[in-house]
Structure 1
Amino acid sequence: MVRWSILPADCIPKSYIINICDEGDNIPLHIEHHDFVRPFCTVSFISKRNILFGKEIDIIGPGKFRGAVEILLPVGSVLVVKGNGAGVAKHCVPRVRHCRVSVTFRRMDNKKMPYGFLSDP
């Protein structure tokens, strides 16, 4: 992703989260923890789905949300999240109709690493 200029070299991911959503699952409202550097990115697989962003997101039912901005995430897409979208706005993925997998790549700020932490070589 750095070679393709999707992420800057100082944001090379060191961790990732794999979200596997079966039909009817959702990813609830959240903001990525501020110990992770911005930008971070999410890659979508298997089926397309929208992601919602907003300072305020309404919960209108189980797995159903209404937000200020809705972005379609096609299969194979990479969403780079930075600025207010990463630090102020909440985001969520409403209930999915088909199985969906996403991988979110992140890097923890070196200053926030636990005392004495040694990464694997």
Structure 2
Amino acid sequence: MRKLFLILSVFFALLSILFSALPLDTIAFAPIILASICLIITFIKSDENQRKLPKLIFVITYLCAAVVLFKTFLIKDEVAVDKQFEKEKIEIKQEAKKELEELEGLE
């Protein structure tokens, strides 16, 4: 039983590392919570000398949680207005109007 929960906790810890690196906001907490639950069960089922790996995975999981919290609350997503693109869009519209007027004048 201990090995099963250890394998599950390693799997969910790897998923939490992956999800915390991707821009998924709070969805990344799902594998973090699942890894924590599996780790608690693994830690309870382990003897004193078998608790080294679960402790390491605990640290990794909580670091992932800290990274997700940092990215969620401290990094702001801002959309910058591209002024050059807006100018080009207006110029293209004006050129298209001129071309249509020229075509109407030819008829």
TM-score bin (small chain): under 0.3
Q: What TM-score does the superposition give when structure 2 sets the normalisation length?
A: 0.22
Q: What TM-score does the superposition give when structure 1 sets the normalisation length?
A: 0.21
Instruction: Determine which structure has greater relative contact order: mean sequence separation of CA pairs < 8 Å that are 6+ residues apart, divided by chain length.
Output: 1
Query: Per residue, is there more strand in 1 or in 2?
Result: 1
